[in-house]
Amino acid sequence: MKALTFRSFGDSSVLTYQEHPTPELRPNEVLIEMKAIGLNFADIYRRKGNYHLEGTPPYLLGYEGAGIITKLGDAVPDLQVGQRVAFADVPNANAEFVAAPFDKVIPLPDSISYETAGSILLQGLTAHYLTRDSYDIHPRDLVLIHAAAGGVGQLLTQIVRLRGAVPIGLTSSTEKADIAKQNGCEHVFLYADDWVEQILTLTDQRGIDVVYESVGSTLMESFRATKIHGTVVFYGMAGGDPVAVDPRLLMDSSKTLTGGDLWNVLTTREERIRRAGELFSWIASDQLQLASPTLFALSDGRRAHDYLESRQSTGKILLIP
């Protein structure tokens, strides 16, 4: 089979599209012929060496995608050859074929295309648990969403509205502010401005019920924008590491700081299928809409990585074998 591989850490030039052994199935695995592969910043970090990689070169990136089952390993129940499936956390996805553990495979309904599945699972399941588990959104909550024009941000905005709350966005440009508004943000502020004061003015000094903090370096500003008894959900560091938080701040203001990680939520096959099923249902009923993905051939992986790193994209980037 062909795969996008690399042997040393660095910029996109280390990526090579070449022949690679087709994976051999172990018990409880299925072989998937890939149709759409999600590209994420985690792939960039792994390529650069910022994230740990197991094994020896050549390495394969990719954890998210969709395709069709071509072979079943021993002792695999409920799945069959020819079935359309997807996954959010199976390694070595940047290839024509992927061996996936049975319990991580999510069957696709007929209404969900490979491209949609490759676009929604990782970011959509993240937005799902953030609005259910990290903080349970209630009607009329004021919700501040960092990077509101990004992949998770756009989905967070729509889910917040679905739950009857009020999404307020933060973006880095007026162009991205327009995207955030199109997805349902009632107000959008720019990082370059004094957004904390703007939010306090907007809320008559009350502050926000919950802030979804994915930038990291803005953590203390997020606290300032949060109301007494409010919550800051920390789930990313796109803008750099956060400062340490003095527990007395939490005590004095009765504010809550909580974190979130998708892999602490997707602990069983049933959880994956249940949560993905809700996302699929929202998409099928047009309650959740996705920006059209940008498609690159898997063989053109270098250019896809460069495009993602340029931060020009506002929708999902997919690699097509």
State residue 240's pLDDT score.
83
- Reply yes or no on whether the pLDDT at 319 is more than 90: yes
Give the pLDDT band (50/70/90) at residue 241: confident
pLDDT for the residue numbered 149:
92
Chain centroid to CA 17: 25
Task: Identify the pLDDT of residue 210.
Answer: 98
How would residue 253 be classed by pLDDT, with cut points 50, 70 and 90?
very high
Residue 315: per-residue pLDDT: 81
Instruction: Check residue 312 and give its pLDDT.
Output: 75
- Identify whether the C-beta of residue 195 lies closer than 8 Å to the C-beta of residue 220: no
- Alpha helices by DSSP H, listed for 35-173, are 41-48, 114-129, 151-162
311 pLDDT more than 90: no
Q: What is the pTM of this model?
A: 0.93
d(CA 196, CA 253): 17
Q: What is the mean pLDDT of residues 298-317?
A: 90
Whether the pLDDT of residue 154 is over 90: the answer is yes
Q: Which two three-digit tokens encode residue 158?
A: 């729509």
Q: What are phi and psi of 96, to 5 degrees?
A: -70, -30
Q: Across all residues in the chain, what is the average pLDDT?
A: 95
Q: Looking at the predicted structure, is the pLDDT value of residue 52 above 80?
A: no
pLDDT digit string (tens) for 277-292? Answer: 999 999 999 999 998 9
Spatial contact of 159 and 185, defined as CB atoms under 8 Å apart:
no
Angle at 216 between CA 230 and CA 133, to 5 degrees: 50
C-alpha separations of 248 from 208, 253, 254, 255 in Å: 20, 8, 9, 10
Q: Say what the pLDDT of residue 159 is.
A: 98
State residue 260's pLDDT score.
85
| Interval 15-41: pLDDT, tens | 999 999 999 999 999 999 999 999 998
What pLDDT does residue 276 have? 98
Higher pLDDT, 238 or 89: 89
195-233 tens-digit pLDDT:
999 999 999 999 999 999 999 999 999 999 999 999 999
Percentage of residues of the chain with pLDDT beyond 90: 89
Q: Give me the pLDDT at residue 269, please.
A: 95
- The whole-number pLDDT of residue 239 equals 84
Give me the pLDDT at residue 153, please.
95
* pLDDT confidence of residue 75: 84
Phi/psi of residue 134, each to 5°?
A: -65, -40
Strand partners, 256: 231
- Residue 27's pLDDT is 92
- The pLDDT value recorded for residue 66 is 98
Alpha-carbon span 259 to 251, nearest angstrom: 17
pLDDT of residue 54: 80
Say what the pLDDT of residue 55 is: 85
Q: pLDDT tens digit string along 84-112?
A: 999 999 999 999 999 999 999 999 999 99
